[in-house]
Chains A and B, each alone.
Chain A
Amino acid sequence: AQSVAQPEDQVNVAEGNPLTVKCTYSVSGNPYLFWYVQYPNRGLQFLLKYITGDNLVKGSYGFEAEFNKSQTSFHLKKPSALVSDSALYFCAVRLNRDDKIIFGKGTRLHILP
């Protein structure tokens, strides 16, 4: 069965430092991978997605993610964290012939000033 895992409930990073939020997946076939961000009491906002092509995907707000097929991972990264990046981040996976998305349980990112 397809699944997506975010192994960290919370990640703390000092402002200005690089950040990584981890995501691994398990699917049969070619996965479509997504990252979303959620601010308190708000809906999810789309950050970026990987469908095919270049393994490094650039998205909104300076975020990027690297697709690694051998490690079945899709980690979210940013070179220099901002306090305003503090939020809940969701990784998601979708099969190429399915209209549904499976979401990870979320990782809370705290950027410390």
Chain B
Amino acid sequence: DAGVTQSPTHLIKTRGQHVTLRCSPISGHKSVSWYQQVLGQGPQFIFQYYEKEERGRGNFPDRFSARQFPNYSSELNVNALLLGDSALYLCASSLSGSAYEQYFGPGTRLTVT
């Protein structure tokens, strides 16, 4: 079975631009969570979606938004990019909204110049 997939792998954007990151969960998983990992730090929770509903939101500005589609894939959108948004963005999927077993994708490396 395919694991969690994310696209694109790498991305370079300019300050002020908008970016969309995509995630496809493991087949049968209905929950997707997004994390931001700044270089040298642990991942920080951004959002979780389960059955297309937001289940949790971390301490991130409103420039960050996400959604989940009927096929359980998800998009993370970031508006008005700042240099500080440069990070590895990780997606994790799980069977249910409160499941402890999460599986991570390889991440998208975003560089903002």
Do A and B belong to a common assembly? no
Taking Cβ atoms with an 8 Å cutoff, the residues of A that contact B are none
Taking Cβ atoms with an 8 Å cutoff, the residues of B that contact A are none
